[in-house]
Amino acid sequence: MHTVYVIVGGLMLLGLFVLFARALSDPRQTRRRCLLLAFVPVWLACATWNLWVGVSRAGYGLGEELPVCVVVFAVPAALALWLAHRAGKEHA
């Protein structure tokens, strides 16, 4: 259940990035695309931190926690990349 909560948290963080991207976007959508792409390394840091907590404090092994980290990272990051791709196509 914790994995679902972390993914939902990532989607909520992405929602904040989307709101900022829409508020700060220029007519050619370059800022919107850059802000959406900036989400990916921020979310990677969050997912890595979650991995570290799972291994160091919760007692899970790296082999158990690493696949979970990949899923936790991949879902919001894939959506962010898709949104950035769409933002780039709007004015192509």
The rounded Cα 29 to chain-centroid distance in angstroms is: 20
Alpha-helical regions (H) of the chain: 2-23, 30-56, 62-90
- Amino acid occupying residue 18: V
Domain of residue 6 covers: 2-90
- Beta carbons of 14 and 80 less than 8 angstroms apart: yes
In the chain, the amino acid numbered 60 is Y
Q: What's the token pair of residue 31?
A: 């800022």
Question: How do the pLDDT tens digits run along the chain, 92 residues long?
Answer: 999 999 999 999 999 999 998 888 777 678 888 889 999 999 999 999 999 999 999 999 999 999 999 999 999 999 999 999 988 776 55
Residue 28 has phi, psi (to 5 degrees) of -90, 5
Q: What is the number of structural domains in the chain? A: 1
The model carries a pTM of: 0.90
Alpha carbon of residue 26 to chain centroid: 23
